[in-house]
């Protein structure tokens, strides 16, 4: 019988009473490997109640104890690294090594959460007025919730709940219904690390369950990662319901190739950054902007891209895995068709990709278009597949204008050996994360993940110091302790210092 994924509420893994079930499939085979239940309204209420109740005691747990929970959790995640990667690879289709990377990026955030004592220190100033001191404390918000996408089922849940819980909050995670097994295993290991009952809950489902979280008055903050339309909906609805919201959304990441760059470095980096993980990364490079003579490298890049072979999660030679679903594959194929119709030149066509032994996999081979122009669908829209678009410009200024006029601002990179070009690009580009001779500049967790424009709705970003601010309130205290009574009569005006 197919495994039914359990809900995690009040410290117990429970069988849902859901009547609506979503099949979880292995994208390389279409085998149904599990079923995700859509939590019932009563179960959603129970999840919030449990988080609310647990908050009363969890907020009183000393910060150093909260840090130790994260240290134990980090050690357990490392111990179970391969096991987690195996679960993750089977439900997402990622290659085993790439799945390990997904888990590792999450472990690094748990390490950051283990540093919570110093991160939660407030500020102090003595004698802000005569005999008066001011100091601030960082206090948790209450019940927080996270809604995560399919493409990083370990890393993105781990961006959220460890930071929120380390701050003293309790949390409800609603992972993607397409790959709920990894987040469920993350929750089991959290229990094993000693997480008290109710500090974390995991509920499954889709829009209906998300809507419950958006409207529940006891939820103070919502973290979301996913597509632009859903991100905008979540940001609008969450803030309308007076919640703090951070919504990380889609992207179109450009890499600018200067003619003075090292050709082979550029080619190697572009291949991995564009079609790695089947292009299903929000920081994947989907547009290569060739400046001046660097366009002469396009044929050699095409040759290298054509060599990459997708394959199943356990195939050691596979460059990347299948797309997450037949629908996602069809969307990418439709975009490739549109690219041809709109006049781009298809140098490498991955539309008819097959993988021996896996006739039902959602395969799309590496795909490379040149002569791509602004206004074409393949340039304007996020494809979220192994498709790279080449645009040609004459100068760095033109490249900057192109990137800055794009609606997205998640990540970008420049390849050059000229410091002045790199400096100009990093300073003038309107994108939140910039790589210099580094294709995918995802910041490590002591910084924050800082997408801009339509790639992010909100103001405080994920992990790092910004996450602490997102998941907390600052309480500022102004205190006077006179040694004896002061009797100056009532004070009717603001005193000038």
Candidates 37, 321, 451, 464; binder of ligand NAD (CB under 6 A) is 451
Q: How many residues bind ligand NAD (CB under 6 A)?
A: 27
Residue 381-420 contact track with ligand NAD, rule CB under 6 A, x = bound: -x-x-------------------------x----------
| Closest separation in Å from C-beta 122 to ligand NAD | 29
Q: Which is nearer to ligand NAD, 40 or 370 (CB)?
A: 40
| Closest separation in Å from C-beta 178 to ligand NAD | 7
Name the one range near ligand NAD by CB under 6 A: 98-106, 203-211, 389-397, 467-475: 203-211
Q: Is 282 an annotated catalytic residue?
A: yes
Residue 455-494 contact track with ligand NAD, rule CB under 6 A, x = bound: x---------------------------------------
Q: Exposure of 324 by Cβ count < 10 A (0-12 exposed, 13-18 middle, 19+ buried)?
A: buried
| Closest separation in Å from C-beta 474 to ligand NAD | 26
Residues 113-132 that bind ligand NAD (CB under 6 A): none
Maximum Cα–Cα distance across the chain: 90
| Closest separation in Å from C-beta 455 to ligand NAD | 5
Name, in order, each residue with C-beta under 8 angstroms of 15's C-beta and a sequence gap of 6 or more: 4, 6, 7
**144, 282, 353, 389: the active-site residue:** 282
For the record, the structure tokens of 39 come out as: 């939590």
User: Does 235 interact with ligand NAD (rule: CB under 6 A)?
Assistant: no
| Closest separation in Å from C-beta 133 to ligand NAD | 41
| Closest separation in Å from C-beta 121 to ligand NAD | 28
| Closest separation in Å from C-beta 82 to ligand NAD | 23
Name the one range near ligand NAD by CB under 6 A: 65-73, 227-235, 399-407, 468-476: 227-235
User: Does 248 interact with ligand NAD (rule: CB under 6 A)?
Assistant: yes
Q: Which is nearer to ligand NAD, 138 or 214 (CB)?
A: 214
125 DSSP β-pair partners:
134
For the record, the structure tokens of 230 come out as: 């859903």
Candidates 48, 119, 120, 210; binder of ligand NAD (CB under 6 A) is 210
Q: Which is nearer to ligand NAD, 168 or 205 (CB)?
A: 205
Residues 142-181 that bind ligand NAD (CB under 6 A): 147-152, 174, 176-177
At 399, phi and psi to the nearest 5?
Answer: -65, -45
For the record, the structure tokens of 16 come out as: 């849902």
The CA distance from 244 to 222, in Å, is: 6
User: Does 37 interact with ligand NAD (rule: CB under 6 A)?
Assistant: no
User: Does 93 interact with ligand NAD (rule: CB under 6 A)?
Assistant: no
The CA distance from 160 to 158, in Å, is: 5
| Closest separation in Å from C-beta 155 to ligand NAD | 9
Q: Which is nearer to ligand NAD, 227 or 309 (CB)?
A: 227
Which of 311, 170, 160, 181 has the alpha carbon at shortest distance from 225?
160
Q: Which is nearer to ligand NAD, 36 or 396 (CB)?
A: 36
Q: Which is nearer to ligand NAD, 36 or 390 (CB)?
A: 36
Binding site for ligand NAD (CB under 6 A): 147-152, 174, 176-177, 206-207, 210, 225-227, 230, 233, 248-251, 282, 382, 384, 410, 451, 455
Active site residues: 282
């Amino acid at each position: 019988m197919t495994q039914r994924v359990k809900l995690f509420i009040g410290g117990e893994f429970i069988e849902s009473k859901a009547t609506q079930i979503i099949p979880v499939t292995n994208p390389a085979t279409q085998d149904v490997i599990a079923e995700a239940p859509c939590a019932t309204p009563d179960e959603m209420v129970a999840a919030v109640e449990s988080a609310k109740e647990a908050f009363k005691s969890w907020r009183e747990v000393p910060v150093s104890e909260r840090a130790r929970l994260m240290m134990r959790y980090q050690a357990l995640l490392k111990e179970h690294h391969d096991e987690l990667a195996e679960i993750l690879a089977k439900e997402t289709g990622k290659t085993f090594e790439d799945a390990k990377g997904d888990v590792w990026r999450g472990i690094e955030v748990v390490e950051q959460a283990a540093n919570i004592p110093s991160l939660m220190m407030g500020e102090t100033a003595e004698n802000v007025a005569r005999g008066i001191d001011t100091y601030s404390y960082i206090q948790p918000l209450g019940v927080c919730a996270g809604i995560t996408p399919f493409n990083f089922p370990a890393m993105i849940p781990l961006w959220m709940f460890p930071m929120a819980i380390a701050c003293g909050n309790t949390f409800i995670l609603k992972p993607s219904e397409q790959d709920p097994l990894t987040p469920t295993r993350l929750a089991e290991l959290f229990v094993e690390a000693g997480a008290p009952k109710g500090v974390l809950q995991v509920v499954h489902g889709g829009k209906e369950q998300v809507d419950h979280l958006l409207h529940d008055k006891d939820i103070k903050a919502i973290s979301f990662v996913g597509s632009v339309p859903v991100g905008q909906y979540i940001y609008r609805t969450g803030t309308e319901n007076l919640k703090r919201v951070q919504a990380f959304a889609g992207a179109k990441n450009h890499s600018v190739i200067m003619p003075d760059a090292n050709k082979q470095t550029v080619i190697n980096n572009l291949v991995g950054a564009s079609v790695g993980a089947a292009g299903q990364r929000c920081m994947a490079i989907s547009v290569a902007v060739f400046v001046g003579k660097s366009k002469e490298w396009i044929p050699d890049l095409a040759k290298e891209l054509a060599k990459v072979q997708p394959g199943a999660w356990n195939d050691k030679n596979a460059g990347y895995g299948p797309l997450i679903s037949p629908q996602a594959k069809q969307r990418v194929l439709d975009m490739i068709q549109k690219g041809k119709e709109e006049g781009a030149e298809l140098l490498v066509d991955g539309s008819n990709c097959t993988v021996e032994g896996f006739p039902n996999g959602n395969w799309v081979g590496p795909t490379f278009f040149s002569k791509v122009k602004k206004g074409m669908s393949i340039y304007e829209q996020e494809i979220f597949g192994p498709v790279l678009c080449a645009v040609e410009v004459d100068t760095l200024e033109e490249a900057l204008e192109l990137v800055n006029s794009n609606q997205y601002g998640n990540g970008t990179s420049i390849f050059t050996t000229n410091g002045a070009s790199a400096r100009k690009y990093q300073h003038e580009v309107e994108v939140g994360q910039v790589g210099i001779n580094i294709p995918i500049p995802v910041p490590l967790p002591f910084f924050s993940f800082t997408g801009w424009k339509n790639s992010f709705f909100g103001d405080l970003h994920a992990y790092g110091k910004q996450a602490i601010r997102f998941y907390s309130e600052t309480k500022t205290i102004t205190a006077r302790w006179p040694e004896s009574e002061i009797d100056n009569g009532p004070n009717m005006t603001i005193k000038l210092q």
